[in-house]
Structure 1
């Protein structure tokens, strides 16, 4: 099963580091993605915005909430989808991920929801 590196970062962190700091961090993440690509491990990568909506459907009625969500202290800021079923390999790459310095890198297997 492929492994996903989820970047879980504190809310507001992007604004705190400013444009120049954000661009420098983004370049480091691009370089990390290039290293994964060079190893043949990268299946997908994206940065996620802090703007979000939530939807729940109960009894046929949908309700939508706009984010950011007050109860949240962190957000999923992006992900790397790796072509490996070896959790140890994914953890080794998570340790190399620059975002581990300012966020948490969560490793999860990707597969059917019944596993």
Structure 2
């Protein structure tokens, strides 16, 4: 299984973003540096609810360091929905879903086709 790496500080920040957005979803874009996800760009002007988050993609900056996405599920289901898979197909890369209760154990990573990827937290 393919493996991707994420900085511990970023993982902790993403978990906090998910907790703060609850009971709604949040979404962001992951920046990678030297093969490690290091930063998140929060979707601009999001419209979020308990089952989805919408934003205008044209408001995103062109940024070649963006190699993935992240969003939360305010339920214990960490698997991508049909809407998630449609979203994944537009952005390529790696996609992280943070499910309730928003702990490292409730985080999963996927490729655009929905296949699982191992996520390793690094210091």
TM-score (norm 2): 0.28
Larger strand fraction of residues: 2
TM-score (norm 1): 0.30
Larger helix fraction of residues: 1
Larger Rg: 1
